[in-house]
Structures are given as C-alpha cells and as structure tokens.
Amino acid sequence: IAGHDGGTGASPLSSIQSAGVPWEIGLAETQQALLESGLRTRVVLQTDGQMRTGRDVVIGGLLGADEIGLSTAPLIATGCIMMRVCHLNTCPVGVATQDPELRARFSGKPEHVINYLVLVAEESRRLMAALGVRRFSDLVGRTELLRQRDGLDHWKASSLDLSPLLAVPAKARRAPRGFVPGDAKEHPVGASFDERKLLGPAAPAIERGDPISYATTVTNIDLAVGGRVSNALVVARGPDGLAEDTIKFDLTGSAGQSAGAWLAPGVTINVAGDVNDYAGKGLSGGVLAVRPAATAGYRAERNVIAGNVALYGATAGKAFFRGLAGERFAVRNSGALAVVEGIGEHGCEYMTGGCVVVLGPTGRNFAAGMSGGIACIWDPEDEFPPNCNMGMVELEPVHADGNEFLRGLVAEHERRTGSTVAAGLLERWDEAASEFVVVIPPGFRAALAHTAPPAKGRTINLA
C-alpha cells in the first residue's frame, strides 16, 4: 500500500500534490476488507510513503501493516538533498547522475544508512514497550491502541472524524489481525516451472559446463521462467556464468509474467508464441528471443508478441522480439541490447545504457528521462520525431563507426527469430541504414567519445 507522498524524486509537483491518497486510508481499508473476508492471515501487507520515524513505523503496524518500507529517508541519509532533478542528470550531490564530475561528489556511506535505521528501530522499540507490546507481529492491527487527538484548534482538524480508519469488522474482532506464517495456501501449480521442467535438464551445464538444449511447452501461469535456473547457475559458477547459448531452452506457448527475468550469461530462452508483461526484467547477460508460433497465420510485425514493461531494469544480455511490444519498453535499461518491431508509449524511459533497435512504430513520449544508452529507430516515412521527448536527447543519422554494429544486431535478430522485416532490411542495407534515426543523450555521446580507444577504424561499444 503506497501512499501519495512516496515515489520517484522526478515526480512533478502537480502529481505529488494532486494524485493519490495517504497510505493510512489505503492501509486501513485494505486491512478491514481482508479481515471481513477472512483472508487477512494469508496476506502480507506492506506500506510506504514518507515513512521516516519510529512513530511512523508503529502507527503503520497498528493500522495493519506487517512490513514497513522506507526509501526517501535512507536516501537522504546518504546525502540526497531533494533537488528533484533525478531525471535531468544534474544531481548536485552525485546520487542520480551519470556525470563523472557530479558522481565524484557523492559522499554517502553504508554506515550512514545503518545508523539511521538503527535509530528508527530503537524509537520503535521504545514506543512498543510503552504500549506493552514485545514483538512487532503482536502490534499489527491493534487499532484499539490508537485514538484521535482531541482539542485541536484548527478549522479542518476540528471537524475530522478518523474513527472509520480504526474500525474492526465485528466478525473479525477475535481473529488474528496480521499475517500468520503457514496459513497462506500453496500455489495451485505447486513447484515453479523452472523446478518442474528446466533445472533437471540444465544440471549438466551448471555442474560441468556441458552445452544442453531442451524443448518443452509453457503457459501463462508459468512465471519468471528461467529465473531459478539463472540463480542456480550464478551460485555454482559465479556472475560470469557460461559462454553464450550454453543452456538453450526452446519453449512453445504463452509464457507468463517476467519470462526470462534475470537471465544469467550462458542461458538462452527461445519462445515460439508470446510473452506477458515484464519479459526480460532484470536481464543480466542471457538471451531472450521471442517469435510467433510456427502455425501463426498473421504478420508478426503487425501483432503484439510481448506485454508492457519488457526489459525493465535490464543490465546486460540480448533480447529479440519478432513483433510488437507494449508500453514502457526497456524502461531503466542500463546495458542490454534489444531489437523489437514496434512498441507502445514511453519507450526507453529513464534508460541509462545499452542499445534498443526499433524496426517499426513507436508510441508517444519516447526517451523520456533517457540519460544514457542509444536507440536506433527505423523510420523510412519520417514519422518518428514527433513521438520523441526531446528533453534530454538529440537525433542524428547512423554514423559510419556504428553502422556495422547496428547491422550486426539486425542480423542477429533475423537469425534468432526469422524476422522478415530484418531480412528485408539486410538485403538493401546500404540504403536501409540511412532510414534509421539515432536517439542519443548528449552526455552519453561525450562519455563514449571520452572512453573509446583512439584506434583506427574504431567501433563504439554500445553495451
């Protein structure tokens, strides 16, 4: 339950002041609804939204929160001064910026956050002791320990009635008011998709580095496919994983949310069908390739094959989508390479690294808050510029030193997905390259120029 005062430091003032409601209202209503339905012991409630003190933590618990989230205050403990320019790459204390001169000013240390959280915990303990409560779990939902302050001489507060926030449904007054471990029902599917189908075939690669290939079906109730395999691989062999395509899974069907999440180096997932939201979330070095099923009777480039927020927070690896993806494609991507044949609105939002190639249409507000990385948009009809948010980026043609890199990505897209769009571009590449628009933040261009070796015929490392 997130309160209206929380959120990114780049939020506009109008949103902060005019959108959402306080967490107290949302938490109280959620708590009462779960108690009324008999589901409270099976659900963990967490709340956040400008939690700063031990008093905030205790009140959150009394209103029904099992867990409390603190974000802004620990950030301030590291040196943030709330300039609210997180999206402009100009953070004066070096927290939210790619500028090396500004980052050099960052003075935060882990001990600063540790000290702050210890003080919050100590204040919470003192208040709990005053209330006669030993454990936080015994505090949850005890609204009888709260009362509204009386005698406030304020024209608003004097007429305010907070009793609905403290109410407890009659049928639930003797029931537990917080999460009870063991009461949560097991997921009807049982073990995860990775545990049931992928970890066994992947064992020879994880244990000995032997290449493996395995094919199976997947459905939309199979979540975070590949995540557990990547975890096992990194635990066994470290963050560098294995050579590309050592572990190959060929899946047929409709993969559930977060397919290919956190894929480690060496893991490749090929999906013949489609994927839901958050495909490739946190991609960490593996490869995700999605194409229509062999029996599909539609043109891939005109149909959606991936949901919203694909590649959210990806840091490395490659992703290829033969078809359209939804909104917020590659939001917060910081290092992955991706090719897609059309996306919805807010593409490459807050992107800081990597390269995204769009072989088709883009929605509005492309590149909002994009402070790093490069996007290459195939725009033969010159329709893209109005869709681009020019606040932090510039548009330019494909330069000679990036031409071969771009062609290589398009060629790999064609090889991994069988894309007819990519094949058509490759057949006339000399002409097609001039139809691309490169979207790049000026600061990122300067960083590339500063770090690229002065060797003759150099190529820019977009990863």
Helix (H, G, I), strand (E, B) or coil at 246: coil
DSSP annotation string for 24-81: HHHHHHHHHHHHHHT-GGG---EEESS--SHHHHHHHHHTT-SEEE--HHHHHHTT--
Q: How much is the pLDDT for 457?
A: 36
DSSP string, 374-443: EEEEE-TTS-SGGGB-TTS-EEEPPPHHHHHHHHHHHHHHHHHH--HHHHHHHHTHHHHGGGEEEEE-HH
Q: List, for residues 25-57, the tens digit of each pLDDT value.
A: 999 999 999 999 988 999 999 999 889 999 999
Does 189 score more than 60 pLDDT? no
Q: Can you give the pLDDT at residue 8?
A: 62
Packing angle, helices 54-62 and 23-37, rounded to 10 = 30
Categorize the per-residue pLDDT at 161 as very low, low, confident or very high, splitting at 50, 70 and 90: confident
% of the chain with per-residue pLDDT over 90: 73
| Spatial contact of 116 and 73, defined as CB atoms under 8 Å apart | yes
Q: pLDDT category, 172, cuts 50, 70, 90? A: confident
> Residue 290 in contact with residue 323, Cβ under 8 Å?
yes
Categorize the per-residue pLDDT at 453 as very low, low, confident or very high, splitting at 50, 70 and 90: low
For the segment 234-282, what is each residue's pLDDT rounded down to a tens digit? 999 999 999 999 999 999 999 999 999 999 999 999 999 999 999 999 9
**Whether 274 contacts 238, CB under 8 Å:** no
**Confidence grade of residue 463 (pLDDT, cut at 50, 70, 90):** very low
Please compute the mean of the pLDDT values over residues 158-177 and round it to a whole number.
Answer: 84
Kindly report, residue by residue over 100-145, the tens digit of the pLDDT: 899 999 999 999 999 999 999 999 999 999 999 999 999 999 999 9
- Which DSSP symbol is given to 144? G
Tens of pLDDT, residues 402-446: 999 999 999 999 999 999 999 999 999 999 999 999 999 998 888
pLDDT, averaged across the chain: 90
Q: What average pLDDT does this structure show over 9-38?
A: 83
